[in-house]
Amino acid sequence: MLSVVINTYNESGTLKRVVDSVRKLAEEIVVIDTQSTDNTVAIAKKMGCVVYSHPKVGIVELVRNFSISKAKGDWILLLDADEEIQPKLAEYIKKTISEDKVDYCRIPRKNIIFNSWIKSDHWWPDYAYRLFKKDAILWQETIHSIPITTGIGYDFPSREELSIIHHNYQSISQFLDRLNRYTDFQSQELLALQTKFNWTDIIVKPTQEFLSQYFARKGYQEGIHGLVLSLLQAFSYLIVYLKLWEKSGFQKASPGLSGIKNEVLKSTSQFHWWYWHTRISDSHGLVKLYWQVRKFFRL
């Protein structure tokens, strides 16, 4: 028996889509609602879902184990309300369950962000633990955590038709709303690890995140979408460390103009390295030689 478990909070606009996508696949659809203030619960019940309530806690990881415990199936398909299952993926899930050769599976996700499928390395194939036997996974209660698994694992092929469609950030406001919630937990986790705030973090950490997202993970291949997402991800790191500063009592520091200049120059140097590295690695033949010469002479 397969139970589909969906976590919700004010999802009246998206719930029908995800439920319709699994109606023929699931023998049970369980909705775990975290005290929605709209008519999410009424919609879920009208569509025949089994509904349970859980206190609003801000991040889904704190609800995962509770959600799984409420399902009756020996197999679980875990979804969020902004996701949907494609027909070919549904058939592949049925095949995987019937063969019964594995205990848990990671499924790729097709992230639709600001009206575009984002294919850079951070966002595709974006494997997530979503299909598993009920006793094969235990979630850790930290944000964006990887669950503890038992048994044999399997990754679905990273093909578009076998991916979960994830209607991720649909607006800048939605990104900022989640950013505020997520950074609360991330900064608290840093504090729990006794991480000491250093003023250089508010320059170094965002810069490293931008370079990672835009260059190392090839965000530049996504045009303006890649640039904007890289900047937003970098901004989230700035907020994490500003909140750590806040939680540390807004301690005083005197970076000085020279100190700030040195950190900015380091960041500029890293940017230049990634620029030339990317130009050369993305080129071939005479074009690669051209960029190697330009790098050597800093043209």
Structure confidence by residue, pLDDT tens digits, 208-264:
999 999 999 999 999 999 999 999 999 999 999 999 999 999 999 989 999 999 999
SS3 content of the chain, % helix, strand, coil (to 5): 50, 20, 35
Which tens digits make up the pLDDT trace of 150-164? 999 999 999 999 999
Q: What is the pLDDT of residues 48-93, one digit of tens each?
A: 999 999 998 877 888 899 999 999 999 999 999 999 999 999 999 9
pLDDT surpasses 80 at 298:
no
Predicted local confidence at residue 68, as pLDDT: 93
What is the overall mean pLDDT for the chain?
94
Given this model, what pLDDT does residue 178 score? 94
Per-residue pLDDT, averaged over 114-129, amounts to 97
Question: Mapping DSSP to helix (H, G, I), strand (E, B) and coil, where does residue 34 land?
Answer: coil
299 band by pLDDT with thresholds 50, 70 and 90: low
The helix/strand/coil state of 101 is: coil
Domain 2-167: top CATH class: alpha beta
The answer to whether the pTM exceeds 0.85 is yes
How many Cβ atoms sit within 10 Å of the Cβ of residue 293?
10
- Span 7-28, average pLDDT: 95
User: Helix 172-192 to helix 223-247 angle, to the nearest 10 degrees?
Assistant: 40
* Range(s) within the chain of domains with CATH label 3.90.550.10: 2-167
